[in-house]
Amino acid sequence: MSTQKNFSEQDIASNKGMAALSYLGILFLVPLLAAKESRYAQFHANQGMVFFIASIIVPVVGNILALIPFIGWIFSLAVWFLITAGFIMGLVNALQGQAKELPLIGHIQLI
pTM for the full predicted model:
0.86
**CB-based contact 34:18 (threshold 8 Å):** yes
Is residue 77 in some structural domain? Answer: yes
Is residue 111 in some structural domain? Answer: no
Is residue 8 in some structural domain? Answer: yes
Domain extent, residue 26, equals: 4-95
CA angle, corner 104, sides to 92 and 95, nearest 5?
10
Nearest by Cα to 32 from 24, 71, 78: 24
Is residue 110 in some structural domain? Answer: no
| Domain count within the chain | 1
pLDDT of residue 59: 82
**How does pLDDT run across 31-82, given as a tens digit for each residue?**
999 999 999 999 999 999 999 999 999 888 877 877 887 877 788 788 889 9
Mean pLDDT, rounded, of the chain = 89
Q: How confident is the model at residue 4 (pLDDT cuts 50, 70, 90)?
A: low
**How does pLDDT run across 14-42, given as a tens digit for each residue?**
999 999 999 999 999 999 999 999 999 99
